[in-house]
Chain A
Amino acid sequence: VTIEVEIDGRRRQVTLRRQGSRWVAALDGREIAVSVVERGDHWSMLVNPAEAGLHDLSRISSEVESGFSRISREEVESGSSRISREVESGSSRISREVESGFSRISREVESGFSRISYEVSFEAGANGDLIVHVNGVAVPVTIVDRRRRRAGSGEAGSDTQPRTIVAPMPGRIVRVLVQPGEAVEARQGLVVVEAMKMENELRAPRSGTVAEVRVREGASVEANAVLVVLR
């Protein structure tokens, strides 16, 4: 099965297949082995790029295994390669990204490339988005296929799907910052609502065009009232 997932405005294709108790996920053509165990609402995911050959590990792993216990942070930073974030020496973990001269390793790398453990849980976001919590960090994504199915017709692609901006709580509209037909960038302010004695700016969740503005300045709104519709 192939599923399209939108993240940060980019579409990524994931092809999944079962391999015994595990999954092999091909992410934009690169394969990753994944083991999933469900504990109530939380998943434990063990991710193994090595087994599925995500990176050219034969060339990198020996260097990493032999190298990092000896290479100090300064040496690495000043050399041809670059290490962002912390590198701990010895057998402990190397956190975050390591860019080497060969290829980019984009995940936590444990010495010897054994399985990397992630805690994952899911939450429904606004507008049918899915918020994936990975190690306590919220990452919003959209399942493109699912949205098509919900729309009930094949031609309703994600780009034409309207997006509504709703009032998060009862309040009063202080300012309307956009007009119908206006193009907006992601995170651009749309409407200022006063609630809980604070002025709050509601921003565009993504770029698009303002299809409708359903409120006027000075109006009182109930929670979940639709304020602006994006196209």
Chain B
Amino acid sequence: LRKILVANRGEIAVRVIRACRDLRLASVAVYSDCDRGARHVRMADEAVAIGGSPPADSYLRIDRIIDAARASGADAVHPGYGFLAENEAFAGACRDAGLTFIGPTPEAIALMGSKTAARQAAAAAGVAVVPGTDAPLGGSVTDDEIAGLADRTGYPVMVKAVAGGGGKGMRVAGERAELASAVRAARSEAGAAFGDSAIYLERRLTRPRHVEVQVLGDQHGGVLPFVERECSIQRRHQKVVEESPSPVVAADLRTRMTSAAASVAASVGYTNAGTVEFLLDADGRFYFLEMNTRLQVEHPITEMVTGIDLVEWQIRIARGERLTIDPARALSPAGHAIECRVYAEDPDSGFMPSPGRVTALRVPGGPGIRDDGGLEAGDEVPIYYDALISKLVAWGEDRQQAVVRMRRALAEYEVQGIRTTVPFFRWLLDNPAFRDAAFHTEFLDTLLQQRRGTAFFEPDSSLQEVAVVAAAIHASREPRPVAAVSASDTWARQAKVESLRG
């Protein structure tokens, strides 16, 4: 491999371009209309336009991305996550075009992409699955038949899209009376999001934890599992904070979970990076949930506790190298790592997306801090894409030190022009349940419901007084315009000229 096309944008495109640099490989960015000036475009060695701003016109256009790879002479494609990362047609199109797809085979993506087929594969590999239905329930299965299956599965029951992912097409029915509407809602959401309205049922475990195992598989039959990640802190089924190792997984359980994950991956001949997700109940029993056939957003915490660069290994595996990592190193965490997903969302307005231009940005640094971001001051967060702007990671010798460092980093983090979830994380890290690691997958939603929209940070009276005095001094020296949120470059330049005159 000499040149890699990165079929993505934002912070993950930046992450992959960095890995290319480390391996002395050339990188090619692709961009939509609104991303012409984006950080990943500026950072890559080459960049190719692939269409309009809506994802369906650009980052989801298989034909245009393949054309861009041909035009730029790239010999491999990294899909990142989201967009086409788990699309077997895309992986197949790359193969047909003679391009190396940096990920699993189209066959593995298709197999694990069907949640029911994945459950069967896990069961065949001897791994327990969450009790539920085995076959997909297509549109022709009647409500009565589904009700019969739900009775056998047991309530409360989860209704889930067979083609699902990312928390979409998922509904809970607490009792039989709620089942029909849950099925209808899951079907319509799944049909819209994945073009497939088939569903299946799964018993809803009581207060489970979400624990997952990263695996790497090479093209020579080698499969390597990594120390687990704890991802129980979720908002509406979306992970918000992840950490590694899990505070509740002891050595014996780790051995059993990681070998189970490796068995599932090996049984389907899995190659490249993937993640086997489990639910862990209060009694320490774990159940296969699903397998994600791509790099995960939370991959940096595994990198921080093992010292292994997962993206670099994705590329090395794709070019045929054997896994030469010492298995003990992958399984024995050195210290503890925590990740906060920083989103362009306003936590004080129900996590409403907050697109716009970032007028000022100060990212934290110092011992143990890593910020995998995709923005610089002056960059725009467009309205068209996922609002993840940065993965903030803290490493410490133990969990306590990692938490302390994360709090320090969050206090340093400053973003202006858009709202972000940083104030929410400052609040969450001070929560006693978080400090005690006493959480499960519904913990955060319950907590947020109880708060009923209370502001995440009420400035205390000292900060308020300083703000009032600062505002008064600022106002007393007018005219000195403040850069407006939507200020154009010309406007900002004019403002600067005026303030220099002032």
- Chain A positions within 8 Å of B, measured between CB atoms, are 1, 3, 5, 7-8, 12, 14, 16, 23, 25, 27, 32, 34, 36, 41, 43, 45, 47, 96-97, 106-108, 118, 120-125, 130-139, 141, 143, 145-146, 168-170, 187, 195-196, 198, 200-203, 223
Contact = CB atoms under 8 A, between A and B. Distances in A.
Central interface residue in A23, A124, A125, A145, by most chain B CB within 10 Å: A124
A168 B350 CA distance: 14
B383 A195 contact: yes
A133 B416 contact: yes
Nearest to A144: B475
Given A139-B459, A201-B349, A170 B383 contact: yes
Given A118-B466, A202-B349, A5 B471 contact: yes
Given A3-B475, A123-B417, A198-B353, A132 B470 contact: yes
B438 interface: no
Contact of B463 (A125, A137, A223): A137
B383 A122 contact: no
Contacts of B467: 7, 120, 132, 134, 139, 141
Contact of B473 (A34, A137, A200, A201): A34
Contacts of A36: 473
A121 B473 CA distance: 12
B470 A1 contact: no
A195 B468 contact: no
B244 to A, nearest CB: 27
B100 to A, nearest CB: 33
Given A136-B411, A141-B471, 8 more contacts: A3-B472, A14-B469, A122-B471, A123-B360, A132-B467, A137-B463, A168-B355, A198-B352
A14 B461 contact: no
A134 B470 contact: yes
Nearest to A203: B349
A45 B464 contact: no
B427 to A, nearest CB: 12
B2 interface: no
A195 B387 CA distance: 12
Contacts of A136: 411-414
Contacts of B470: 43, 45, 118, 120, 122, 132, 134
Contact of A169 (B383, B466, B484): B383
Contact of B472 (A25, A47, A139, A196): A25
Contacts of B359: 123
A196 B353 contact: yes
Across chains A and B, which 6 residue pairs bring their CB atoms closest together, nearest first? A107-B462, A14-B472, A139-B467, A200-B352, A132-B467, A106-B461
Contacts, number: 145
A25 B352 CA distance: 37
A106 B416 contact: no
Contacts of A200: 349-350, 352-353
Q: How large is the interface on B (under 10, 10 to 19, 20 to 34, 35 or more residues)?
A: 35 or more
Nearest to A96: B460
A122 B474 contact: yes
21 contacts: A7-B467, A14-B468, A16-B476, A25-B469, A27-B468, A34-B473, A45-B470, A96-B460, A106-B462, A121-B360, A123-B359, A123-B417, A133-B414, A137-B457, A137-B459, A137-B463, A139-B459, A141-B467, A143-B471, A168-B353, A169-B355
B473 A132 contact: no
A79 B272 CA distance: 61
Interface string B419-434: 0000100000000000
B221 to A, nearest CB: 41
Nearest to A40: B360
Given A132-B470, A133-B414, A134-B463, A168 B476 contact: no
A195 B383 CA distance: 9
B426 to A, nearest CB: 9
Central interface residue in B349, B466, B484, by most chain A CB within 10 Å: B466
B383 A123 contact: no
Contacts of B483: 41, 123-124
Given A3-B475, A135-B463, A122 B482 contact: yes
Given A139-B464, A187-B453, A196-B387, A130 B471 contact: yes
Interface in B331-362: 349-350, 352-355, 359-360
